[in-house]
Homo-oligomer: A and B are copies of this chain.
Amino acid sequence: MARLPGSHSVIVPAGYERLDLTGVRRWLAAQPALSARLGGAPDTWQIREVSDGNLNVVYVVTGSGGGVCVKQSLPYVRVAGESWPMPLERAYFEQLYLRISEPYVSGLAPTLLHYDSERFAMAMELLAEHIILRRGLIAGHRYPLAARCVAEYIARRAFATSVLCDPFEQVNERLAAFSRNHALLRITVDLIFTHPYLVNERNRWTTPQLDDVVRGLRTDAELKAAVARLGHRFLTVQETLLHGDLHTGSIMVTATDTRVIDAEFAAYGPIGFDLGLFVGNLLMAYFSQPGHATTRDERLEHGEWILAQIGEFWGEFVAKFDALWSAPRVGDGYPSAFFTSPPDAKAFARERERWFSLLFADTLGYAGAEIIRRIVGFAHNLDFESIADSNMRGDLEKRALAFARQLIVGPEAFSVVDDVLNGARRQS
């Protein structure tokens, strides 16, 4: 173990070296399969840093034959610097998640090509034609398949890693592994479920426009109790392997293809958490649209199109998950052998309906928590951040925050997804 120069708290293991442009080239050249994929001599490869998330460093590498994407853990939070140390192991959990989920979501995630456990670095399929969904939505583009693809991705992976699908012995092995993803779980617990409701130096918001609202969050007893319940459920309801950070910045799209990336937050948790993060980010995309309006495009239609995606997403998720759950399975959860006769099938269908209805409330709660933390916490979204006019931005953020509160404290007011879309329209 060695300390990084200039730091008293950032510690790295002996084999670790941070891959700079030269280092990436050397690292790729040492891997025959990756070199072959790129083609030509290493010094002909084009390498550029494209780090976009908050934590890691990412390179896009192209050669005469093809490309790869390289992602490496830093021993600290990239956007915060060495003042915020972060264990390197997040790369281990991400590649483990990719390996486990790959059989169920192939075509909906990038293929893992190589993992280097000494350098905490991985090479993945390059998605050269794709852009980040969030950027596309801000630019006013439509991706007609994206919401359904994300729904299918969550449904397949959430089902496959649960005791509905497998005997609990297999599930518990994975649960044990991911329950040690402490550093990233700590980020979620602190940044989503705790800091936004307290005075914390990492919080920031559009000031002074939101000052009163932020003070209000800290004294909103009903909201804090409901957020605490969601946070407690996040830590104790370990029903599926979550992606753990499934916002619109973790999705890459073209007009015809959708891939979910950046799974370093992977851990067991409640299914509604992934669903809620995606819904919350679509709602933020919706609420922020007036901030991206131009004289030629008021963004009214685009906002409506985004809202419709929430409906598509939920409907597709329920259809896909329910189909998997109602088919014969070997999982210990709701054993198939219990439900063989027509009356059994009816009772089982009622039970699943009840379960989806509780999941819907959970999803809305997590969506609300995600909206709040993205507006008043540490990590903000470009949806709002890219609105230069701070009065306009603050005004839109206030509307989103007010709706988020409704989702968290009163999810029972929204019995179907259309209720949510209408509620958002009323608030916008």
**Given A221-B346, A228-B334, residue A172 in contact with residue B163 (CB < 8 A):** no
Q: Are B185 and A168 in contact (CB under 8 A)?
A: yes
Query: CA A177 – CA B180 in complex, angstroms?
Result: 11
The residue from B186, B231, B337 contacting A198, defined by CB atoms under 8 A apart: B337
Closest Cβ–Cβ distance, residue A240 to chain B (whole Å): 8
Q: Which chain B residue shows the least CB distance to A171?
A: B235
Q: Which chain B residue shows the least CB distance to A189?
A: B332
Q: Are A332 and B231 in contact (CB under 8 A)?
A: yes
Give the number of residues in A that approach B within 8 Å (Cβ atoms). Answer: 52
A264 sits at the interface (CB 8 A): no
The residue from B186, B219, B333, B339 contacting A236, defined by CB atoms under 8 A apart: B333
Q: Are B224 and A347 in contact (CB under 8 A)?
A: yes
Query: CA A334 – CA B193 in complex, angstroms?
Result: 9
Residues of chain B lying within 8 A (CB to CB) of residue A235: 163, 168, 171, 332-333
Closest Cβ–Cβ distance, residue A184 to chain B (whole Å): 12
Residues of chain B lying within 8 A (CB to CB) of residue A172: 179-180, 182, 185
User: Which are the 6 A-B pairs with shortest beta-carbon distances?
Assistant: A221-B347, A236-B239, A176-B176, A172-B179, A225-B351, A232-B333
List residues of A whose CB falls within 8 A of some B CB: 162-164, 168-169, 171-173, 175-177, 179-180, 182, 185-186, 189, 193-194, 197-198, 219, 221-222, 224-229, 231-232, 235-239, 332-335, 337-339, 341, 343-344, 346-348, 350-351
- Assuming A219-B343, A221-B343, what are 17 further A-B pairs, CB within 8 angstroms? A163-B235, A168-B182, A168-B186, A168-B189, A169-B186, A171-B235, A173-B180, A179-B179, A198-B337, A222-B347, A224-B344, A224-B347, A225-B334, A229-B351, A232-B333, A232-B334, A236-B238
